Structure 1
Amino acid sequence: MRADLEADQPATLLWAQIHQAAPAHEIPAEVPRPVRELLEVADGVRAGDVELWGTADVDYRRVMLGSMPELTGVSDEPADWYYLGDLAREPLLLRRDTGAVWWFPRTSGDPFYARDEFEELMPNLEYFLAGYVFGPLYLDAATDDEWWEFLDRHGLTAEDGDDEEPGE
């Protein structure tokens, strides 16, 4: 996918980038294992409405944990969380103890800090990547955009069984 995006540059730079791997020695020790594994493949990912932060953003994002809404409890226990990235410019957090990806579901037009919901989106980073970043769940949380069209061209928008005829 990285090669296909790079082949279409500069057009794709506005809506998608899968950066080269971060050298292992540049990944801070505090980065949770699942995120470390991602950074060893891609030091940051922009995929339409999803942006997963790279090594250059670790320190800044750690500080941002202190400004999460009170209802989340994140600012009380920031060491329990990792600021993974943004989904439609709203925080995606990873619980360090479980590896689950959390978000502020869009149940209203209010900004995330004015909502009273904060919940687990996926049980781990691998499922989040497969479903929401590189798969058929993207539209459940994002917009129909160039990234969705790119996923569709690569056959990644149909859930298992969606493209089968009855009886197949």
Structure 2
Amino acid sequence: MNDNLIRIINLAKQKLKEKSQSVLFGDLANGESKIPDNLNFPIYCEFLKACNGARCGDIDLWSINDSLQNQFYIVGMGGGKDIWLCIGQVLYEPLMLNKQDEKVYLFRKDELDNTPIFCFESFSDLMENYVFGEGYKDIVPNPENDEWFIFLEENNFFY
């Protein structure tokens, strides 16, 4: 994970602490140093070391425990657990990290074997441009009324 993304996560954690009602729309957990060996996706493990799970409006990135419990989504996916890791969800639709191409895919939960709804170029792209960026409005409905999007705007996360 690049230094810019770590800086963004730390800034967001600080800004969320300053806002009394932030728990309703956003939560960035503390990092975890002990990552299980069977979670062999280095990109996501780096994130977990900085932030062991996050709720960012309509985007949830799972903690280690939640991630391990939600791998039922990869059943039937070509390559299975050697290639795919379900890392979270956007409005209950699964976010899948592909170890081979390092892209993150958003699928419909009922159509995992079909074309994804959206493809993020990398985990960093997802985080910098969609979780903490203006691209958030492209993957969630009604961003103008979304507390996370408003939080990002008010705190100048868009550049």
Q: TM-score under structure 1 normalisation?
A: 0.77
Matched, 1:102 2:105: yes
Residue segments in structure 2 that go unaligned for 5+ positions in a row: 1-11
Contact 2:93 2:109 in 1 (8 A): yes
Distance 1:152 1:21, change over 3 A: same
Q: Secondary structure of the equivalent of 1:40?
A: helix
Give a deviation string over 1:114-150, Cα, whole Å, max 9, x none: 5853265112101110111000100000131000001
Query: For residue 26 of structure 2, what is the aligned residue in structure 1?
Result: 16
Matched, 1:56 2:65: yes
The count of residues paired between Structure 1 and Structure 2 equals 142
Q: Secondary structure of the equivalent of 2:101?
A: coil
- Structure that is richer in helix per residue: 2
Matched, 1:125 2:123: yes
Contact 1:100 1:120 in 2 (8 A): no
Distance 1:7 1:154, change over 3 A: closer
Q: TM-score under structure 2 normalisation?
A: 0.81
User: How many Å separate the matches in 2 of 1:21 and 1:130?
Assistant: 18
Instruction: Tell me the percent identity.
Output: 23
Q: Which runs of 4+ in 1 moved over 6 A?
A: none
Q: Secondary structure of the equivalent of 2:45?
A: helix
Contact 2:86 2:95 in 1 (8 A): yes
Shift in Å, 1:4:
1.3
